[in-house]
Amino acid sequence: MEISQEGLQTLAAVLREGTFDAAASALHITPSAVSQRIKGLETSVGRVVLRRTKPATATPDGEVLVRLAKQWELLLDEARIELLGSTTTDADESRIHLPIAANADSLATWFLPVIARMHRDHPVAIEVLRDDESQNSRFLRSGEVLGAITSDPLGIRGCTIRPLGSMRYLPVATPDFVDRWLPDGPSAATLSYAPMVLFDRNDYIQRNVLAALAEQPVTPPITYIPSSTEFYRAVELGIGWGAVPEAQIAPALDAGRVIPIVDHHVDVPLFWQYWKLSSPILDALTELTVAAAAEHLVPPRTGPAPISPDPISHRP
């Protein structure tokens, strides 16, 4: 079996751009040439690699090849930098494209400085795909990213997994909110009408906390705030109660602007998964990520018992 670099690059372009025509424009070739390259790749591997939909999507076999394409691009870029050098770290053409996936709460608390350090110390241009930590594994499987922060303790085939620690969430609200809605503490009765803030309709961190506190199904009034920073600000402004990362809400707790509604927390374990490559750039990002996590996250199952013994996270 022979797999051409040209075929891999064309496959990656079609999936990135969505259509053969758009890929042709990006590659500066004709749509017919794109079609011929994809057919040639499929003939070479003996498998269908693309679903001819709009946008085009990869088959499971195509996902294997697009992962190879991304890895090959990284290794080529690193070899180019090593051989030719970088005339200036500000030149886009000399920077290595590094796609990764992260969740919003990590970006808002501890991970953004890691990206900044990478940009200072290495000729990279990092692209962050943002989704929930329980969903980021799909970006690795599809080959869209080379590394991801996930909540999945099971390693993906071809990837290395490094435990990072746990992000701790505290259920909090403003003192005025507690006096008005939860004067005697959270219960099924009070939580059924106390306003609650959710990230989105898949925010299972918050829903797990609600289920554990109420101990029976309740349907409180909900305000959806699909942004990590604005979520905690909504809680701090008294819009509702919510489970917020401890690192994010600590200043408001210290100042008394919010208080815990219950003396428990939720710990969500996080992991760094990345493709097994002999890549100095990816190794550097991994070491910075692990070091930052050790400084800002907490090990699983430390401190007071969590609300749920095995909380399920689904906040992007």
Q: CA 222: distance to chain centroid?
A: 24
Q: Who has greater pLDDT, 168 or 86?
A: 168
**Residue 206, in any domain of the structure:** yes
Number of domains in the chain: 1
**Residue 93, in any domain of the structure:** no
Residue 110 DSSP label: I
* Of the candidate ranges 3-17, 45-59, 239-253, 298-312, the one whose mean pLDDT is the lowest: 298-312
What range does the domain containing 230 cover? 167-267
**Residue 114, in any domain of the structure:** no
Provide the whole-model pTM.
0.75
Q: For the chain, what percentages of helix, strand and coil (3-state, to nearest 5) are there?
A: 45, 20, 35
At CA 225, angle to CA 223 and CA 296, rounded to 5?
125
Per-residue pLDDT, 138: 79
**Residue 258, in any domain of the structure:** yes
**Residue 191, in any domain of the structure:** yes
Q: At residue 152, does pLDDT exceed 50?
A: yes
Helix ranges (DSSP H) in 2-111: 5-17, 20-27, 31-45, 60-84, 104-106
CA distance to 38, 50, 97, 129, 139, per residue, from 14 (Å):
9, 9, 18, 18, 17
* Average pLDDT of the chain, as a whole number: 86
Per-residue pLDDT, 5: 83
**Residue 226, in any domain of the structure:** yes
**Residue 216, in any domain of the structure:** yes
**Residue 285, in any domain of the structure:** no
CATH number, domain with residue 178: 3.40.190.10
> What pLDDT, in 10s, does the model give residues 44-63?
888 888 888 888 888 888 88
Confidence of residue 248 (pLDDT cuts 50, 70, 90): very high
Q: At residue 300, does pLDDT exceed 90?
A: no
